[in-house]
Structure 1
Amino acid sequence: MAERLVPAISLKDFDKRKDYITQQLIEAAEHTGFFTLVDHGISREDIEAQFAISRAFFDLPAEVKAKTPHDNISNNGWEYKAQLRPSTGTYDQKESLWLQRKSHWPSDEDVPHFKQSTTEFMSKCAGISDQVLSCFAVALGFEEDYFKIANDPSQPDCLTQLRLIHYPASEDAAGTWRAGSHTDIGCLTLLFQRDGEDGLEICPGRESHTSFAIGDTFTPLPAETGPIVVNIGDMLMAWSDDRLKSNFHRVRAKDVGKPSSRYSIAYFNQGRRDFVLQGPLKKYPPMTVGEWFAQSVARNFGSQAKVAA
């Protein structure tokens, strides 16, 4: 498979340039499934501040991090090397903290200003998501605010999550899969990275989501602080009657030497549990977002399935 470029799309003067931005987003979503956003309104300083909050949490002793325990039902909380990838048959070499607005949060005594700063960061992510999803909604023939309503994080049934991720440095990590090949189950993912902490590889141009892209060409996507890497999830692919592409991606440690720590932050737009999901062409039967998640998680993880409550 030929490598494809991941376009950078500017959100500058969004209201004035919305038609042109929509054209760029649709082109990227239909053919690549990945794109980066620049001029999105979250400053480099704000991104670095959130990474500092994340690192402060992951630097805590395990027994302190465990005060925010992972819950298999809600899929919120701290987990360590706990995600088994069917694509590799091994556990991802990372730790992460899953958060929702309604979930249990780390104490400000352990990480000062954690909840306030992180909640504000989540709100900024939601605003950018609303802009992108409003473009997709119009292009697909929905009302402009359709996906904004469907992904409203202020509603009690919203499954949207923020995930703080840390891939620890390790002498024996060289050449390993820090995160095995996978697609995102949800609607739309915003990923923040840090300068020099590479490892993300993407497989753009996939025509279906029925394999793990084994044997296909993966393209490294260098990590930068500032641009947001955005990808379409399986849910939005189905919601668009397969017009928008959900593509495989993975994180691989460099083959030589001791890999350094890698930090990333992912904002997963995952819809409201009771919202009915169906594309404009009705290619697939209607189902609630909750039903979609239950089926998708079971299909992707089997006995390892975790369904957000």
Structure 2
Amino acid sequence: MAERFVPSISLKDFDNRKDEIKTQLLEAAEYAGFFTLVDHGISVEEIERQFAISRAFFALPQEVKGKTPHDTTTNNGWEYKAQHRPSTGTYDQKESLWLMRHSQWPSDEDVPNFREATEAFMAKCAIISNQVLACFSSALGFDETYLKEANDPTKEDCMSQLRLIHYPAAEDAAGTWRAGTHTDIGCLTLLFQRDGEDGLEICPGRESHTSFAMGDTFSPLPAKTGPIVVNIGDMLMAWSDDRLKSNFHRVRAKDVGKSPSRYSIAYFNQGRRNFLVQGPNKKYPAVTVGEYFKQAVDRNFNRQAITA
């Protein structure tokens, strides 16, 4: 498969280059729904430190990881090959740890400095997210602070999460999906990858946030340590009256031979539960963030389609 062009956007000198950056972000979001960020303020060393914490957690015995159990009502905690994808009819071949600021966290006794380091990493993700969201807010005709306030992780009703993800090594995994085809339900996702741990594939071309139409052409997005892969989620697509595109993606096993371990880290801006979602042109009725999530999950599963 040929690689698709995914814009790389520098956030360097953001305050002085805001208009230029906004133009680049808007073009990428309207065309592809995916882009990468560089010069974003998180060093390669900081990213590698967070990956080291992630690897240390996933290397623990299952009974230790299970001390932070997955709670289906909050979607927080550790899950192992538990995410079913209607797109494939199978379970994703991965384990993950979902974290909110106010959720249960692994003990520092099991992974030293886990919470302090991870909360600091999340805070930096929020700063980067706020820069992007400020650009989208003004481009869509909202006040510049609007989408930032709607995704403020310091508020009690904020649903934003960090997800540490591990795809275990697999023999003869050709033809399987480490993560089945899906879109993200929330607003904006920041994804961190590591050199050589490939597998992510993207498929632009979706026209509405309720559409399940999917093209046949998926293109690989090579994994690199440093650049952040960013994609629009369904909620922001609805919030923009379908102007900003939330598109399909998946993680594919190697076609031949052993698929090695893959680690990724995703920061999901998922909005504040009681905040209203409605675009500037009011294409769709206003709903709360909490209700949007419920409707999206119900719609996706009831139609046997694709869920984040």
Q: Return the TM-score normalized by structure 1.
A: 0.95
Q: Deviations over 1:155-193 (max 9, x none)?
A: 000000000000000114233100010000000000000
Please state whether the residue corresponding to 2:152 is helix, strand or coil.
Answer: coil
Cα distance in structure 1, aligned partners of 2:109 and 2:50 = 17
In the superposition, the TM-score normalised over structure 2's length comes to: 0.96
Residues 108-157 of structure 1: CA deviation (Å, up to 9, x unaligned): 00000000000000000000000000000000010011011000000000
Return the alpha-carbon distance in structure 2 between the equivalents of residues 43 and 169 of structure 1: 27
The answer to whether the 8 Å contact 2:137/2:143 transfers is: yes
1:4 touches 1:205 (CA, 8 Å); kept in 2? no
- Please tell me whether residue 211 in structure 1 is matched to residue 234 in structure 2: no
Given that 2:158 and 2:272 are in contact with CA atoms closer than 8 Å, whether structure 1 keeps it comes out as yes
CA-to-partner distance for each residue in 1:60-115, whole Å, 9 max, x for gaps?
Answer: 00000000000010000000000000100000000000000000000000000000
Counterpart amino acid of 1:252? R
Does 2:271 correspond to 1:271?
yes
Query: Which residue is 2:94 aligned to?
Result: 94
Contact 1:85 1:301 in 2 (8 A): no
- Show the counterpart of 1:80: 80
Say what the alpha-carbon RMSD is for the aligned residues. Answer: 1.5
Distance in 2, matches of 1:244 and 1:300, equals 20
Once the two structures are superposed, residues 40-79 of structure 1 have per-residue CA deviations (whole angstroms, 9 ceiling, x without a partner) of 0000000000000000000000000000000010000000
Partner of 2:249: 249
Q: Trace 1:49-128 onto structure 2 (pairs within 5 A).
A: 49-128=49-128
Counterpart-to-counterpart distance in 1, 2:115 and 2:3: 40
* Paired position in structure 2 for 1:307: none
1:199 aligned partner: 199
Q: Is the 8 A contact 1:34 1:229 kept in 2?
A: yes
Q: Deviation at 1:207?
A: 2.1
Distance in 1 of aligned mates of 2:212 and 2:142: 30
Number of equivalences: 302
Following the alignment from structure 2 to structure 1, what is the Cα–Cα distance between the partners of residues 61 and 302? Answer: 31
Asked if the contact 1:182–1:248 (Cα under 8 Å) also holds between the matched residues in 2, the reply is yes
The alpha-carbon distance between structure 1 residues 161 and 260, as it changes in their structure 2 partners (threshold 3 A), is same
How far is 1:5 from its partner? 1.0
Q: For 1:76 and 1:49, locate their aligned partners in 2 and report how far apart those are by CA, in whole Å.
A: 22
- Unpaired segments ≥5 residues, structure 1: 305-309
Higher mean displacement: 262-271 or 203-212: 203-212
